[in-house]
Amino acid sequence: MSTGRRETWDRRCWSEDLRHLFHQFMKKCEDGSWTYISEKEMLDLQKKASELSFQNVKPMKKKQFPSTLTRNFQEGLGFEYAMFYNKDERRIVCLFQGGPLLQGFPGLLHGGAIVTMVDYSISILSTKTIGFTMTAYINITYKRPIPIGSVVVINGQVDKIEERKVFLSSSVHSADEKTLYSEATSLFVQLNLEKSET
């Protein structure tokens, strides 16, 4: 099935740094330890999520199914990213380049945009680990500001699973790994679909 959405590495707005890192990670995928999460896979996950019914949230009709927040910006102006998943290590890596519409303090990324990308990345990790989950909390510490247009690497990992609870930690580094921008700890809870009302 075609998603109607091209893979993001086609985008001209990707910086040299982002392209370079992307190709490095694609190389890591060759032995099967890491897998690239394609646009199609993302879209399929979102589509499945839109069909769920829980806590009085009714499934969406086909026509109502919109893009997720991070894909609602014109190319290069918002969230440019690619994600890679390591099943055995329960890790996710998101290569992220934030555009000018995500500005907070002049020239810098808004903290809400940063946590959005962290939250989205680890929500995909927790969902791939135990099924659909929602963020119960995310505690983020901003250590250094991120310049608009720079490329950062979000690393997320599952620390512990207790029944429906998934505890994760994550960090945001510069592409050269010299600068630690943010760190977060979070809890995601698997959706209790059995209790859901239809």
Ligand X SMILES: CCCCCCCCCCCCCC(=O)SCCNC(=O)CCNC(=O)[C@H](O)C(C)(C)COP(=O)(O)OP(=O)(O)OC[C@H]1O[C@@H](n2cnc3c(N)ncnc32)[C@H](O)[C@@H]1OP(=O)(O)O
Q: Which is nearer to ligand X, 126 or 150 (CB)?
A: 126
Q: Which of 65, 61, 63, 64 is nearest to 47 (CA)?
A: 65
List interacting residues with ligand X (CB under 6 A). 45-46, 49, 55, 68, 119-120, 123-124, 127, 134-137, 164-165, 187, 189, 192
Question: Which residue minimizes CB distance to ligand X?
Answer: 136
119 annotated active-site? yes
Rank residues 83 and 175 by Cβ distance to ligand X and give the closer one.
83
Q: Which of 44, 119, 159, 176 is catalytic?
A: 119
Nearest to 152, CA basis, from 183, 171, 173: 173
Least spacing, CB of residue 129 vs ligand X, in Å: 11
Least distance to ligand X from the beta carbon of 91, Å?
A: 16
CB of 12 to ligand X, least distance (A): 26
Please give the positions annotated as active site. Answer: 119
